[in-house]
């Protein structure tokens, strides 16, 4: 097993622009970006993780202390910061598309991959919704998801329906599309 792994060529990927993953909570943005980073030798960053380290607080605490508006202000700041770095795979939080200025940053700075999921399928994937303050009630989540559909569609350069697919399959679909679009260039060493 170890021998086979060491014989596999090392892959180093380069991105022409930042790639932003958007979509509803539970779409798999964090998991797919992380998987793609590993298989393609590209750096990835999760906006929520980055934001939590920067603020020294969990997303849930920020919502409790500063409300959604407070969270969104920090989120915009972080998005701007990450959009200005060397191109990365960036998994965004599901609500990043709510602000007009964020949608402008996503469109202008990057290539946007929209991972589609229904609120019902997302609920079945997320075992513990306590870390997601806006996914506490399924009926509310269904409504929120419907309201956001046009916002995700507005920024998407690529849309992938994730229904019934696992993370590896989705990551392969994204990889192939990014290579075809000239956004991802892979060198096998």
Ligand X SMILES: Nc1ncnc2c1ncn2[C@@H]1O[C@H](COP(=O)(O)OP(=O)(O)O)[C@@H](O)[C@H]1O
- Binding residues for ligand X (CB under 6 A): 23, 25-31, 91, 125-126, 162, 165-167, 170
Q: Taking CB positions, which residue lies at the least distance from ligand S3P?
A: 93
CB of 135 to ligand X, least distance (A): 9
Residue 31 binding Mg ion, by CB under 5 A: no
Q: Residues 19-48 vs ligand S3P: string with x where CB under 6 A?
A: ------x---xx-----------------x
Q: Which is nearer to ligand X, 91 or 144 (CB)?
A: 91
Please count the other Cβ atoms lying within 10 Å of the Cβ belonging to residue 89. Answer: 27
Q: Integer distance in angstroms from the first to the last C-alpha of the chain?
A: 20
CB of 25 to ligand S3P, least distance (A): 4
Bridge partners of 85, per DSSP, are: none
Please count the other Cβ atoms lying within 10 Å of the Cβ belonging to residue 91. Answer: 30
Residue 162 binding Mg ion, by CB under 5 A: no
Whole-number Cα distances in Å, 90 to 18, 35, 84: 7, 12, 12
Whole-number Cα distances in Å, 89 to 33, 59, 111, 127: 6, 21, 10, 25
The answer to whether 178 and 136 have CB atoms below 8 angstroms apart is no
Q: Binds 145, which of ligand X, Mg ion, ligand S3P, none (CB < 5 to 8 A, cut-off by type)?
A: none
**Residues at the interface with ligand S3P (CB under 6 A):** 25, 29-30, 48, 59, 93-95, 132-134
């Amino acid at each position: 097993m170890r021998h086979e792994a060491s014989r596999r060529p090392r892959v180093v990927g380069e991105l022409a622009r930042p790639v932003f993953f958007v979509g509803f909570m539970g779409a798999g943005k964090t998991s797919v970006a992380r998987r793609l980073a590993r298989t393609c030798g590209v750096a990835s960053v999760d906006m929520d993780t980055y934001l939590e380290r920067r603020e020294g607080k969990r997303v849930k605490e920020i919502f409790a202390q500063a409300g959604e508006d407070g969270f969104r202000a920090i989120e915009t700041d972080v998005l701007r910061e990450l959009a200005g770095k060397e191109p990365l795979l960036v998994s965004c939080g599901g609500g990043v598309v709510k602000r007009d200025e964020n949608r402008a940053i996503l469109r202008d700075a990057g290539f946007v991959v929209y991972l589609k999921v229904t609120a019902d399928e997302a609920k079945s994937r997320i075992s513990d919704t306590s870390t997601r303050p806006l996914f506490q009630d399924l009926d509310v989540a269904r409504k929120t998801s419907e309201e956001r559909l046009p916002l995700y569609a507005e920024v998407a350069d690529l849309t992938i329906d994730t229904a019934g697919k696992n993370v590896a399959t989705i990551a392969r679909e994204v990889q192939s599309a990014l290579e075809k679009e000239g956004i991802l260039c892979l060198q096998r060493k």
